[in-house]
Structure 1
Amino acid sequence: MTAARYRPAWDLTLDPLLSCKLCLGEFPPEEMTTLSQCQCIFCTQCLKQYVELLIRDGLEPNVSCPDSACPKQGRLQEDEIECMVAAESLQRYKRLQFEREVLLDPCRTWCPSSSCQAVCRLPEAEPPGSQPARCPLCRLDFCSLCRAAWHPGRACRDRDRDRDRDPERPPGNSEASPIKRCPKCQVFIQRDEGCAQMMCKNCKHAFCWFCLESLDDDFLLIHYDKGPCRNKLGHSRASVIWHRTQVVGIFAGFGLLLLVASPLLLLATPFVLCCKCKCSKRDDDPLPT
C-alpha cells in the first residue's frame, strides 16, 4: 500500500483529497480510480494490488468490487483490468476466463489426458448421455459422460464396477486418475502430488481425493483411520497426530477461556446493572430551580 498524502487544512489551492476504502488513506483525484460499473472509488495502487492478488490465487475469473458493502455489487471491466496489471497477470486472467467458459459450456470439455490441454467439442444429444468424443489434438477417444476411454454398449457405472474388481485395468477416471471433478461444483481438479485432502478453489469444498467423500466437518481427519482410505492421507502418522493435537488445543483453549470468563461475567453483572440504575436515576432527577 502506498503512503497517504496529507496537507494543511488552510491549503485551499488544490483539489480536495479523496479517501480510499482499502487503505483508508487520502489521495488527490489523479491517484484514484473510479469503477465504471458501481462508481466506487479506490486509490490506484491498492486496486492494482487487489486485482493482481485475485488473479494470482485464481479465486475467481471475474474480479468483483473490493468493497464488500458495494450496493451494486460491481465488477471490474476487462479494459480496466488491462490498464492495471502486468502482461503476465493479464494473460493468466484471460486463461481463467477461458477455463470458466469451457466449464460452463455443455458442448465443450477438456481432454481427459493429463498430458493434453486441448478443448474438445462434445456431440449434441437429447437427452444428454454417453456419447463418443475425440480429442482433436491427441486423437483420444473418450466418453462424453464419464470422460473415460470410450466403452460402446456399456454403461459408465458398469465400467466403474469392473475396474473395482480388476485393479490391473488401465486407470481412466479411476482412483489413480490425475484429474477428477469436485463432487460439489463439478469443476475439474488436477492433483500432481501432495496429500489426499483436497479443497476446491471454486466452491471451497474439502473432500477426499480417493473416494470423494466430504471432509468439510472432519477437522481431525478421522476419515483416514478406517475404511478403504485408511493411511492414504499422504502424511506420516506423527504429522497427523501433531495436526490433531493443534486442533484439539485450539478448541480446548477456547473452552478454557470461556470457562474462566463466565464467572467473571456473572460477578460483574450486578455492578453493571447498578451503574445503569445510577445513571438512569441521575437522568430522572429534576433540574434545580
Structure 2
Amino acid sequence: MFLKSHAFNVFLCTLIFCIIHYDISQNRNILDQYGVEYFCIATKHIPNPQKLCLVCYDEKHFTEFCFSIAKSECHHLNRTICNSCLFHHVEQAFQITFTDDVYCPELDCDVKFDYNTVRTILSFNRDKKLVERYDRFVLHRQLEQMDEFIWCSNKLCNVGQLNEGGILNNIVTCFQCQQKTCFRHRVEWHQGLTCEEYDQFIDFDYECSRRWIVEHSKKCPNCPYQIEKNDGCDHMTCIKCRHEFCWACLADFQLIRRYGNHRHDQTCRHYAPNE
C-alpha cells in the first residue's frame, strides 16, 4: 500500500512539473512570436541583465528592449535596438523630415509603423508637446485628404478650413485673414466673374497647367523657381539655388535647424513655441 501511494505521489509530481514546464515554454514562444523579451518578466533573477544595442553599442538593461514594436508584418522576433535609439529614430523622421512615414529600424525589417506605434514611441521621453505636435501633423494630413478641405489662397496666411457644401459653395472666406478663395479653381475669388465665365475667360490648357502648378508646386522663397512636392515630406530643397525651406510655411530651414521649430510661421502645423 505504501509503495502504491509513493508511486502515485511521484507520478503526480512529475505530471505537475511537466505541465508547468510546458506552460512556461508556451508563454516564452508566444512572447518571442510578438517580439517581447521574456527577460523583462524577471530580470532580477539574471546575474547581469544587460544587452548590447546595435545602434549606440552601449550595454543597456533588458528593460530598454521590452517595448514590443513588432507587428505581424515585422521580420524580426526580438529587438536589437534600445528604446533611446528607437525614440531618436522616430523623432528624427518626424521633426527633421516632417513625415509620418516611419519605418522599423531593425535589420532587414523596414515595416512601416502605424499611428499608435509612432505615438507610443514619441511618448518615451514624456514630452507632451512633441506628441501633441505629432497629433496635429497627422490631423492636418487627414484633413488634406478630405474633399471639402481647402487652403486659403493667401500665401501669407497658410490657414486651411472645411468648406461645408464643397463645390456647391464656391466662395470660401478665410476665418483668419478674410480673403475669399474660389473652391473650384483654388485661387483668389474672381470678383465679377462666375466660375463658368472664369473658365471661358482663361485658356483651358493654361488653366489645367496653372491648377496643377498651384496644387503640386510652390515658388522657392529664395528664387523664382517653381518646386514640385512629390512625397509627404515638408522639408524642401530648391534644385536651382539649393535653398532649404518648409513647404507648409516657406520658413528658412537653416534657421529651423539651428534655433528650433519656433522659427516656423506661427500658423504652420510644424510650429512649436520656444521653450
Q: Give the TM-score taking structure 1 as reference length.
A: 0.48
The higher relative CO (CA closer than 8 Å, separation ≥ 6) is in 2
Q: Give the TM-score taking structure 2 as reference length.
A: 0.50
